[in-house]
Structure 1
Amino acid sequence: MEQASARPLVVAGYPDTHCRTVAELDAAVAECRACPRLVAWREKIARDKRAAFRDETYWGRPVPGFGPPDARLLLVGLAPAAHGGNRTGRMFTGDRSGDVLFAALHAVGLANQPTATHRDDGLRLRGVRITAPVHCAPPDNKPAPDERDRCRHWLRTELALLAPTLRVIVVLGAFGWQALLPALGESGWEIPRPRPRFAHAAHLLLSSPTRNPVHLFGCYHVSQQNTFTGRLTPAMLESVLTDAKIAAGL
């Protein structure tokens, strides 16, 4: 199985991306300006603000992943919310989707508290890290294909740095599933053919000649469109997280 390396990680096509640690990756992500449309949008939102948050200083930058660098379980979403992560600087923090997600993580013992309101609120994840295939808030919550693909080198880097401990990935929604599979294939895991389709409660085991095998779970996204309509209930989300927790040995 893969051993941790002391050499900097250089991602193909991005020779300036040298990340020895997850902390270095997070710092590098936060400085990215690769997608002009997303840069303009996230900064516009940070200037204009929502009335309820007019007295707050918005993060207004790419939002790095969040959680321990030796996580056994990785949660993959879509992108930061304009007035959630783009405001607070932490994935799923300060929005309705995060309210549902962190309550479920706490319910199954993977977070120390059920709420996430700001970056210094004391929230701690237990063996879990949260990331996204796109790190900037996109207009209408819809990244363009080229923006998704341009951001993929950060996801590949994150997977490589987490690989020594990573055992389980839970993907929230079809967008994340479709974005993650190519990154997993490029990072050394074997993707079945035909490529598996997203479904809630989907579960497969990905093998690799150089990495530890990884369990991949699908779950509907914790968007208001899903949670308000009952397409995704707290019980459904907790069930997937419980199965993932067991598979990860947490």
Structure 2
Amino acid sequence: MCRTVSELDAAVSECRACPRLVAWREEVARTKRAAFRDETYWGRPVPGFGPADARLLIVGLAPAAHGGNRTGRMFTGDRSGDVLYAAMYAAGLANQPTAVHRDDGLRLLGARVTAPVHCAPPDNKPLPEERDRCRHWLDTELALLAPTLRAIVVLGGFGWQALLPVLDTAGWTIPRPRPKFAHGARITLSPKDSDRNPIELFGCYHVSQQNTFTGRLTPAMLETVLRQAKSAADSDPA
């Protein structure tokens, strides 16, 4: 059992539970993309990124083959991360707007970024059983963040569907019928016990190139959700 977030991050990076994902991430790390042929790829599961006392959690899908799987940090070194961290910087959640590699000086301010699947999947599509096998990491992460956590932004429907049952297990009441994912959705989750705080849950389109290149998700739309979530995270529960 991981007792701290740093222990969790170290344990995640050593996981080999999903044979298909292990084979894919390591094959990508060997063959590389031509633009990165001189780099050494991470090629392992990518842990969450951000402080252990974060008040805001951002949940994506999985690392990108030539982004997180290359750099070893969530949303780092790809165009999705370019959009996300620029918006986080604009919202006061990061100390700089760029994320190039793990030693670039980026710090998240009161926020942490994670995913329900920690290995890069083929075609960016984890299988349901891979999502379920990876779930215990997210269970642990939420339990460790619970004392300070006040708000969560979920990027995309995959993360939304993966996160809701984890939140239920971790001590928050999920409304019935179960809330559907939508950009701009906002739901207050009540704690089941006194050792949990209410959580404001926000839905946002994923920062995939498919969404950002077509204008389905604009920087302004993303910044609006992040600013709302930051405001909720910074507010003390009533």
Counterpart Cα distance in 2 of 1:220 and 1:23 = 29
Counterpart Cα distance in 2 of 1:64 and 1:142 = 18
State which of 219, 226, 237 in structure 2 corresponds to 1:241: 226
State which of 109, 117, 124 in structure 2 corresponds to 1:126: 109
State which of 188, 193, 200 in structure 2 corresponds to 1:215: 200
SS in 2 for 1:19: coil
Q: 1:12 aligns to what?
A: none
Q: Say what the alpha-carbon RMSD is for the aligned residues.
A: 0.6
Please state if 1:89 is matched with 2:72: yes
Q: 2:133 aligns to what?
A: 150
SS in 2 for 1:207: strand
Unpaired runs of at least 5, structure 2? none
Unpaired runs of at least 5, structure 1? 1-17
Please state if 1:136 is matched with 2:126: no
Counterpart Cα distance in 1 of 2:102 and 2:192 = 38
Q: 1:185 aligns to what?
A: 168
Q: 1:197 aligns to what?
A: 180
Counterpart Cα distance in 1 of 2:35 and 2:219 = 27
Please state if 1:100 is matched with 2:83: yes
- Please report the TM-score for the alignment, with normalisation by the length of structure 2: 0.97
Q: 2:11 aligns to what?
A: 28
Counterpart Cα distance in 1 of 2:80 and 2:18 = 25
Shift of 1:209: 2.4
Shift of 1:66: 0.1
Aligned residue identity for 1:162: L
Shift of 1:108: 1.1
Alpha-carbon displacement from aligned partner over 1:16-43 (angstroms, at most 9, x marks no partner): xx11100000000000000000000000
SS in 2 for 1:218: strand
Q: 1:166 aligns to what?
A: 149
SS in 1 for 2:172: coil
- Please report the TM-score for the alignment, with normalisation by the length of structure 1: 0.92
Counterpart Cα distance in 2 of 1:107 and 1:73 = 15
SS in 2 for 1:228: helix
State which of 159, 172, 179 in structure 2 corresponds to 1:176: 159
Counterpart Cα distance in 2 of 1:60 and 1:112 = 27
Alpha-carbon displacement from aligned partner over 1:38-84 (angstroms, at most 9, x marks no partner): 00000000000000000000000000000000000000000000000
Counterpart Cα distance in 2 of 1:207 and 1:98 = 31
Aligned residue identity for 1:104: A
Shift of 1:145: 0.2
SS in 2 for 1:113: coil
SS in 2 for 1:26: helix
Aligned residue identity for 1:214: I
Runs of 4+ aligned structure 1 residues displaced above 3 Å come to none
Please state if 1:229 is matched with 2:229: no
SS in 2 for 1:79: coil
Counterpart Cα distance in 1 of 2:56 and 2:177 = 25
Counterpart Cα distance in 2 of 1:104 and 1:70 = 21
Superposed counterparts of 1:106-117, under 5 Å: 106-117=89-100
Aligned residue identity for 1:226: N
Aligned residue identity for 2:215: G
Aligned residue identity for 1:200: H
SS in 1 for 2:173: coil
Counterpart Cα distance in 2 of 1:222 and 1:143 = 17
Counterpart Cα distance in 1 of 2:59 and 2:217 = 17
